[in-house]
Amino acid sequence: MKLDNRMAYITGGASGNGAAMARAFAAEGAAVAVADVQSALAEEVAASIRATGARAIAIDHDVGDEAAWQEGLDRAVAELGPLRVLVNNAGIGVGCDFEDETLENWRRVQRINLDGVFLGCREAVRRMKDQPSGSIVNISSVYGIVGAWRTAAYNASKGGVRLMTKSVALYCQHKGYPIRVNSVHPGFIDTPMISGQERHLGAEGFAAMRSQIIEATPMGRMGLADEVAAATLFLAGDDSSFMTGSELVVDGGFTAR
């Protein structure tokens, strides 16, 4: 099994990509901590994993809260063993016209998407450096590589994650720590982050958005959370043992042209 007996802490694990990762990692032998602000949903995911015979717990964790990182990881370590894999997956995506963007919304996006990843990486490095190995996977986006016209705050946060990943990867090698740090860049994936847009756009607007997405994606469809989970599993485990500071794009060809 690719993650036999390793504890994996997955933020945003209650929904979409994170829930698919939690299931995929557990199927490969990991003991999984499903960390999320949606604690009831996180417990549902953890319970469904336990029902397969694997180990999983839910942790009520806001990634923008510094103290919550200590508390969440302390609990996961006590119940599941030392931290070997961290996936910084929690994120929000909010778009608006740039000239109407508020500082409040800008800061909310950076707090979750960028501060949360910084806090997670720092805490993981401190805890993983004395382990036999550690793998940190940061979930960025194709919007950490290319821009879009209504997503300045999201682009800034995900671009920040992309380069912070490389810096932390280099830091760990410089210090001789056995920790690899990589980023994943999903394209448009069929999760509640996308389906939730129907509430704001209405049925017609949402259908139009879906067809624009499909048209912009050379493979002609949205990706699945399981496809992001498979790429993340590859980076989390030893199959990617010579990869650090790299970026893995999972986008059906969106950024290829």
Q: Cβ of 85: how many Cβ atoms within 10 Å?
A: 28
The answer to the question of residue 18 lying near ligand NAD (CB under 6 A) is yes
Q: Which is nearer to ligand NAD, 17 or 165 (CB)?
A: 17
Least distance in Å: CB of 182 to ligand NAD? 15
Q: How far is CA 252 from CA 69, 125, 147, 236, in A?
A: 34, 32, 17, 21
Structure tokens at 33: 């901590």
Of 13-21, 24-32, 197-205, 241-249, which segment contacts ligand NAD by CB under 6 A?
Answer: 13-21
Listing DSSP states for 66-131 in one string gives HHHHHHHHHHHHHHH-SEEEEEE---------GGG--HHHHHHHHIIIIIHHHHHHHHHHHHHTTS
Using DSSP, how many helices (H) and how many strands (E) does the chain show?
9, 7
**From residue 236, how far is each of 7, 164, 206, 240, 247 by CA, in Å?**
11, 18, 34, 8, 13
Residue 143 known to be catalytic: no
Single out the residue of 3, 80, 112, 128 in contact with ligand NAD (rule: CB under 6 A): 112
Closer Cβ to ligand NAD, 3 or 42, answer by number: 42
Interface pick for ligand NAD out of 27, 28, 29, 38 (rule CB under 6 A): 38
Cβ distance 139 to 89 under 8 Å? yes
Residues 72-111 that bind ligand NAD (CB under 6 A): 89-93
36 binds ligand NAD (CB under 6 A): yes
Which string of x and - marks every residue 117-156 that binds ligand NAD (by CB under 6 A)?
A: ----------------------x-x---------------
* Stretch 218-237: interaction string toward ligand NAD, x if CB under 6 A: --------------------
Among 94, 163, 194, 209, binds ligand NAD (CB under 6 A): 194
Instruction: Yes or no: say if 235 and 1 are a contact pair by the CB < 8 Å rule.
Output: no
CB 137 within 8 A of CB 180: no
Q: Does 189 bind ligand NAD (CB under 6 A)?
A: yes
Whole-angstrom distance, CA of residue 15 vs CA of residue 30: 18
Does position 255 bind ligand NAD by CB under 6 A? no
In angstroms, what is the minimal distance from the CB of 176 to ligand NAD?
A: 30
Q: Which residues are part of the catalytic machinery?
A: 154
Contact residues for ligand NAD, defined by CB under 6 A = 11-12, 14-18, 36-38, 61-64, 89-93, 112, 139, 141, 186, 188-189, 191-194
